[in-house]
Structure 1
Amino acid sequence: MLLGSLTLDNFGVYRGPQKVRFSTTKKSPITLIGGKNGTGKTSMLDSIPLCLYGSRARRILNGSSYPEYLNSMVHHGETTASITLEFERIEEGRKVPYVVERSWNRTTRGKSTDRLSVRIDGQARPDLVAVWPKFVEGVIPISVSDLTIFDGEKIASLADPSSSAEILRTSLYGLLGLDLVERLRSDLHDFRRRTAKAQDAQLAPQLAEKLTQAEKHLAKTRNESRLASQALADAESARTDLQSRLQKATDKLAIAGGNLLDQRDDLHRRLAEANASAISVDREMIQLAASDLPLTLVPNLLKQVAAAGEQSEASHLARQMRSAMALRDDRITGLLAAAFGFGQQEAELARDVLLTDLNSMEQPAKPTFSPSPECADAARSLLNLRSGELQKNAKRLTKRLDDLNSEIEHLEGVLAAVPDTDSVAPSVRQVATAEADLRAAEKSVERAKVDLDEAERRADQAQREFDAVAHEMLDAGVNDKNTARVAREVAAANEVLAEFAKHMIQKHLGRITNEINAALATLLRKQKLVSRVVINPDDLTVTLLNPQQESVDAQRLSAGERQMMATAVLWGLSRSTGMALPTVIDTPVGRLDRSHRKNLIRRYFPNASRQVVLLSTDEEIVGDHLQLLRPHIGFEQCLDFDETEGCTTVVMGYFDE
């Protein structure tokens, strides 16, 4: 199933026909619809199940009757409203277009009656209208729709450990069709109640009166449970509004620099430390500059000094050798004269021969200058060893000083942005008030949950008491074979249905859990903390396991990580349907931090299903996140609310772009 378009005509805040087109391409499966709070995103989300299921879409009614809800959704000043949904399905190998329209009129009685029309392949199909509730179950079952059409609040509720089991139970029962089994069991209870009431009161007048009182008490406790459930929904809605208010107040304070007030002392401390470190490094660099480091800048001169030193040493050695050889020649001449009786002439001749030989020896080049041996050794040392070490230290200190100067510049800039306390005092008070109100709302939600649990416990107890009296009433009429048969068969049927539900859960839970774990592996970053989940088939509680297969307390996860877990559960359940259905999400990342938002945008939204529709506020999918998602977006549209006219129109483009 692929959505083609949705037209809202005088529905909620939408005046006149407002049409939204949906991307159907595989390469760009996402349709991004932007809208600020109050511009009609929730109405648009609710319009899809309303168009498909009509009065059966009880999730959107919020306690109102269906006729009252329809009447309230007609745009102010108008008398008619309609929703038209166009989609296509593959049937017998070809695409078949559908157009479903649900329309109604505003009435003075405050209650409206809807009209449904269906066109397939351009042909009106009045024959399908009568059987539409059954037919649409083959298109997108109502029990599955909550897995593919939902808002951020559903993710938040599923992320709450106190409510996740019940939500998971509802989703699983819908996925496996066990909601029909539950309805059948409820119908059996009602049938047994009617059968018991039909017994002749004369047979057991006290039991008849007792049954009447038990029925009244049951109705009372059920109503209390319904009211408690509505009170919880109202408390959670109020909490959501306050969370949004706190976020806006916090953002406003951050823009004004108020979030830096608490960091001011720490910033001053870090700046002082950075300045002290910079002074210390500067001293080291001065000491290094006073050492031999400058000489490493003139390696050619160092080479000349080293060469001159070598030449000077060679010249000195040559002179020493020449002096030694001259002395040797004198001794040889004296020895020859003594041994052979040389006269003066012969002695002079021998001396000339030896002198000529001495002069014929190669003399080293005379150096242009003669450095001292110590100076030449120092030049060679700098060239061979110390030059690299000195330059390495110089680079290290230079980088350290650059880093410190950058840090000092950054800290000075941040400190310059810290406002004075008086200028942000109003924003600080707004944040403090919002935080206090949110804490009170959290307590109200917790109280409402306790009240609901207690109301449901009383209703369950009243149901058991009624069943017991009904059973007594039926036993009182055991002489009536039909009554006895009803009593036996209702009890037997209840046992069979309970066993059937248990068997279905055990049969399919492994496959569903695998899909959830596959989604979890894609979404959750902390694989070292949580590697997979296990779902208890008896109470459907979720247990988190680490790589060592040890249970992990969900409270160890951040709120964002728990919501990623909840998203993985919904994604896994949706994949378990085996149906190619669109995914429509309102306020998809409103409660996630930046890193988790990026994770969803990269890994979930482009792969959530064959077609994805995102209804985002101007604080969610924007900036870098929008750029990350853009390659996967086929259509971008925006809900433009006119405050003067009090109505919303659909325009192409995304917010101010």
Structure 2
Amino acid sequence: MIFTELVLNNFGAYAGRHVINLRPENNGTMHPIILFGGMNGGGKTTLMDAIRLALYGQRAKCSGRGNLGYGDFLTQLVNRQTLPEQTTEIELSFESIFDNHWQTFKITRAWKRYPAEGKDSISIIRQDGYDSNLQENWDEYIESILPLGISNLFLFDGEQVKELAELDAPPPSVVDAINSLLGLELAEKLAVDLEVLASRKRKDLASKAQLATIEEIEAKIKEKEKAEKIAFDKVISLEDRLKKAHQKSDRASSKFRTEGGKIAAERSSLEEQKNNLIAQQKKQQEQLRILAAKTLPLGLIDNLLADAEVTGKQELKIQQFKQAQSLIDERDEKLLAYLKDIGTSEEYNTKVQFFIEEENKSLENTINSHGSAYLEITEDEFQQFISISKNKLSLQQKQAKDILNELQQISNEMDAIDKQLTLAASPEEYDKLQKAKDRAVQAVSQCKSDLDLAKTQKNQLTLEIEKAKKELKNYSQKIIDSDNNQHIVNSITKVQKTLELFKEKLTLKKLNKLENEITECFRYLLYKSNLVYKVVVDSDSFSLSLYDPQGKLLPKQRLSAGEKQLLAIAFLWGLARVSGKKLPIAIDTPLGRLDSSHRTNLIERYFPSASHQVILLSTDTEIGEKEIVTLREQEAIAREYLLEYNADNGHTTVNSGYFW
């Protein structure tokens, strides 16, 4: 069997139509791996669900379904922007053997947002033509090539591997799959059929009175089976009621919140917050008044202060000039007298005196040009003025700005609280909303209680049915005395014992082969290949025991988390090999907690060899840049796709290529 194409139309996060080629070949050369890359929540698991849903429909074990009915589950899978008249479709094409010939198949499942009768429509195309007979009997046909019971051994995810790795024995679903895969369920089915035949013969052997007793017991069994069916239906109905009660409770809680009930319940707390803010506001306003009583108001005349600073500097400079003028006059007189004493010429003395007079005029003009002094400021007064205008005023302006910002923030918070209080429900409306919410919560609690009681009653009836069947069997065994039918019944008993012995030997034979395959796979995947010499499978629980090269039991607890995962993968791989079925393998988030060495072994040894077709759905941290290079160098990849999720519109698109 080979998957060749998957088409998604308005399915999950995939809006519109997406056609994905799954054929494991490239340019005519076969390569096993089809690689999908995508971040968490990008649509990888949705692809796996699409394959399962296409193959098994209502019986599919898909993620996220839980206890949803099939119709509700199909509605949940419709892309949220799909119009009511539009159709959601899944198409899965594959090739398989049919009537001893290799043929092509296409399964198409389609439905609308609210599917009629809670079902999808299915069509089967075989060899380019509709096959109505195959369409009507599809469940039986798919069981012949990929039975649902073993599908989890071929279509699995990393979480399944982690769960299997941590358990001492496989879970019941895997045990059932193993029985189906190894052909052990045939012996069990034959044992059931023989018991039915024996029951019929016991009736023929019984006397009328004994027959009446048997019929009474059988009637009792039928009555209880009918009651069990009613109890089962009641459980299903109550589960639906519980779901609706949860929805109603959610709506009541939402209404309580959106219509101001929550705010009304918090009114006293909000009012206390507002009073605290008012107190803070008054405190800050008082601080602002204190600043206003100091030098802060001078900030209103910044221009005048600047002018005063300039004028003050000029007046101080004029004062300095006047003080210097008398000293200069005295020096000039001494200079001229000195020149006469040393006997310089009259002409030279006249020139020097002219120069001095001109300089004195220039100094006098400078003093006169500054005008008269009206501030009459001293040097100390000017320095005090500068200290106030430059330092104290600047500091107080910053303080005032901080206080104003704090007041604005307080005002904003008070506005927000006022808006909330405005939205708060009135006491009467609050009481109404609270009662509606309490009733919804009480309804949920009552539904849970009713459901638990119904499950208990159903389980009790199941136990009573089993007890009655055992009573019937024991009674029938005691009343048999007819030779002919007695011989048949005795023969059936012998055959049942022989069948049990056959099943034991068949199990041992199959398990011996399975042990060899698991051991070979595990040692192949381990980088410490000498760690384990033999893997033994328990014939009852199918739990695994490990033995070292010295034949000593190796506790599973000694394995690392990564080695346990490799053991789980080897278990699944060995089962697939023993089955003899050539089926595709699909793995969602495959690498889990593996360290680098084990991850390398899985990349290089398992993925290229697990099957003729291996579909991998990985994040960028699992199959990273190093791993993708290794797979490409091995020429193991046929196709690469990148699932890119757009958070704005909530859609995923399928593009060619990978993260690197």
CA deviation profile, 1:204-240 (whole Å, cap 9, x unmatched): 89968975897699889999999xxxxxxxxxxxxxx
> Which residue in the other structure is 2:127 paired with?
121
Give secondary structure in 2 for the equivalent of 1:517: helix
> Which residue in the other structure is 1:8 paired with?
8
> Which residue in the other structure is 1:100 paired with?
107
From 121, 129, 135, the equivalent of 2:141 is 135
Give secondary structure in 1 for the equivalent of 2:170: helix
CA deviation profile, 1:379-406 (whole Å, cap 9, x unmatched): xxxxxxxxxxxxxxxxxxxxxxxxxxxx
Taking the aligned partners of 1:40 and 1:15, their CA distance within structure 2 comes to: 12
Change (3 A) 1:65 1:473: farther
- Is 2:3–2:584's contact at 8 Å kept on the other side of the alignment? yes
From 42, 52, 57, the equivalent of 1:54 is 57
Taking the aligned partners of 2:198 and 2:81, their CA distance within structure 1 comes to: 49
User: How far did 1:63 drift?
Assistant: 3.6
CA deviation profile, 1:314-347 (whole Å, cap 9, x unmatched): xxxxxxxxxxxxxxxxxxxxxxxxxxxxxxxxxx
Taking the aligned partners of 2:498 and 2:78, their CA distance within structure 1 comes to: 46
Give secondary structure in 2 for the equivalent of 1:10: strand
- Is it true that 1:640 corresponds to 2:644 in the alignment? yes
Change (3 A) 1:218 1:456: closer
Taking the aligned partners of 2:43 and 2:484, their CA distance within structure 1 comes to: 56
Look up the equivalent residue of 1:22 and give its one-letter code: L
User: How far did 1:580 drift?
Assistant: 2.1
> Which residue in the other structure is 1:518 paired with?
520
- Is it true that 1:623 corresponds to 2:631 in the alignment? no
- Is 2:123–2:130's contact at 8 Å kept on the other side of the alignment? yes
Structure 1 unaligned spans of 5+: 227-453
- Is it true that 1:178 corresponds to 2:184 in the alignment? yes
Taking the aligned partners of 1:624 and 1:102, their CA distance within structure 2 comes to: 39
User: How far did 1:90 drift?
Assistant: 5.8
User: How far did 1:130 drift?
Assistant: 2.1
Taking the aligned partners of 2:579 and 2:214, their CA distance within structure 1 comes to: 51
Give secondary structure in 2 for the equivalent of 1:75: coil
Taking the aligned partners of 1:27 and 1:205, their CA distance within structure 2 comes to: 64
> Which residue in the other structure is 2:590 paired with?
588
Change (3 A) 1:539 1:104: same
> Which residue in the other structure is 1:575 paired with?
577
From 145, 149, 152, the equivalent of 2:155 is 149
Give secondary structure in 2 for the equivalent of 1:19: strand
Taking the aligned partners of 1:45 and 1:573, their CA distance within structure 2 comes to: 21
Name the stretch that deviates more: 134-143 or 31-40: 134-143
User: How far did 1:38 drift?
Assistant: 1.7
Structure 2 unaligned spans of 5+: 204-208, 237-455
User: How far did 1:121 drift?
Assistant: 2.2
> Which residue in the other structure is 2:78 paired with?
74
CA deviation profile, 1:88-146 (whole Å, cap 9, x unmatched): 2367997532222122233278x522222222221222222123223333433333322
- Is 1:185–1:497's contact at 8 Å kept on the other side of the alignment? yes
- Is it true that 1:543 corresponds to 2:545 in the alignment? yes
Change (3 A) 1:16 1:544: same
> Which residue in the other structure is 1:20 paired with?
20
Look up the equivalent residue of 2:108 and give its one-letter code: E
CA deviation profile, 1:619-639 (whole Å, cap 9, x unmatched): 211121222122322211122
> Which residue in the other structure is 2:568 paired with?
566
> Which residue in the other structure is 1:44 paired with?
47
- Is 1:201–1:208's contact at 8 Å kept on the other side of the alignment? no
Change (3 A) 1:108 1:218: closer
> Which residue in the other structure is 1:87 paired with?
94
Taking the aligned partners of 1:541 and 1:457, their CA distance within structure 2 comes to: 28
Taking the aligned partners of 1:157 and 1:113, their CA distance within structure 2 comes to: 32
Change (3 A) 1:192 1:129: farther
User: How far did 1:548 drift?
Assistant: 1.2
Give secondary structure in 2 for the equivalent of 1:607: coil
Taking the aligned partners of 2:501 and 2:104, their CA distance within structure 1 comes to: 41
- Is 2:5–2:92's contact at 8 Å kept on the other side of the alignment? yes
- Is 1:7–1:20's contact at 8 Å kept on the other side of the alignment? yes
CA deviation profile, 1:153-174 (whole Å, cap 9, x unmatched): 2211221233426455223212
RMSD after superposition: 4.4
Residues 432-511 of structure 1: matches in 2 within 5 Å? 465-471=467-473, 498-511=500-513
- Is 2:169–2:542's contact at 8 Å kept on the other side of the alignment? no
Taking the aligned partners of 1:568 and 1:33, their CA distance within structure 2 comes to: 23
> Which residue in the other structure is 1:32 paired with?
35
Give secondary structure in 1 for the equivalent of 2:581: coil
Look up the equivalent residue of 1:81 and give its one-letter code: T
- Is 2:169–2:543's contact at 8 Å kept on the other side of the alignment? no
CA deviation profile, 1:192-215 (whole Å, cap 9, x unmatched): 99999xx99985899689758976
Residues 202-217 of structure 1: matches in 2 within 5 Å? 203=213
- Is 1:474–1:484's contact at 8 Å kept on the other side of the alignment? no
Give secondary structure in 1 for the equivalent of 2:55: helix
Residues 353-372 of structure 1: matches in 2 within 5 Å? none
Residues 150-549 of structure 1: matches in 2 within 5 Å? 150-164=156-170, 166=172, 168-179=174-185, 182=188, 203=213, 465-471=467-473, 498-549=500-551
- Is 1:477–1:484's contact at 8 Å kept on the other side of the alignment? no
- Is 1:102–1:114's contact at 8 Å kept on the other side of the alignment? yes
Give secondary structure in 2 for the equivalent of 1:164: coil
Look up the equivalent residue of 2:168 and give its one-letter code: S
- Is 1:84–1:101's contact at 8 Å kept on the other side of the alignment? yes
- Is 1:158–1:168's contact at 8 Å kept on the other side of the alignment? no
Look up the equivalent residue of 1:68 and give its one-letter code: D
Give secondary structure in 2 for the equivalent of 1:619: coil
Look up the equivalent residue of 1:521 and give its one-letter code: R
CA deviation profile, 1:278-333 (whole Å, cap 9, x unmatched): xxxxxxxxxxxxxxxxxxxxxxxxxxxxxxxxxxxxxxxxxxxxxxxxxxxxxxxx
- Is 2:523–2:532's contact at 8 Å kept on the other side of the alignment? no
Look up the equivalent residue of 2:36 and give its one-letter code: I
Taking the aligned partners of 2:575 and 2:49, their CA distance within structure 1 comes to: 21
- Is 2:521–2:573's contact at 8 Å kept on the other side of the alignment? yes
Give secondary structure in 2 for the equivalent of 1:579: coil
Q: How many residues align?
A: 426
Change (3 A) 1:213 1:94: closer
Taking the aligned partners of 2:541 and 2:461, their CA distance within structure 1 comes to: 19
Give secondary structure in 1 for the equivalent of 2:3: strand
Change (3 A) 1:48 1:504: farther
Look up the equivalent residue of 1:47 and give its one-letter code: A
Change (3 A) 1:574 1:457: farther
> Which residue in the other structure is 1:377 paired with?
none
User: How far did 1:176 drift?
Assistant: 2.1
- Is 1:9–1:83's contact at 8 Å kept on the other side of the alignment? yes
**Rg larger in 1 or in 2?**
2
User: How far did 1:546 drift?
Assistant: 0.6
Give secondary structure in 2 for the equivalent of 1:137: helix
Change (3 A) 1:623 1:508: same
Taking the aligned partners of 1:185 and 1:41, their CA distance within structure 2 comes to: 42
User: How far did 1:522 drift?
Assistant: 1.0
TM-score by length of 1: 0.56
- Is it true that 1:650 corresponds to 2:654 in the alignment? yes
Change (3 A) 1:210 1:578: closer
- Is 2:214–2:472's contact at 8 Å kept on the other side of the alignment? no
Give secondary structure in 2 for the equivalent of 1:3: strand
Give secondary structure in 2 for the equivalent of 1:606: coil
> Which residue in the other structure is 2:380 paired with?
none
Change (3 A) 1:36 1:484: farther
Give secondary structure in 1 for the equivalent of 2:649: coil
Look up the equivalent residue of 2:47 and give its one-letter code: M
- Is 2:24–2:639's contact at 8 Å kept on the other side of the alignment? no
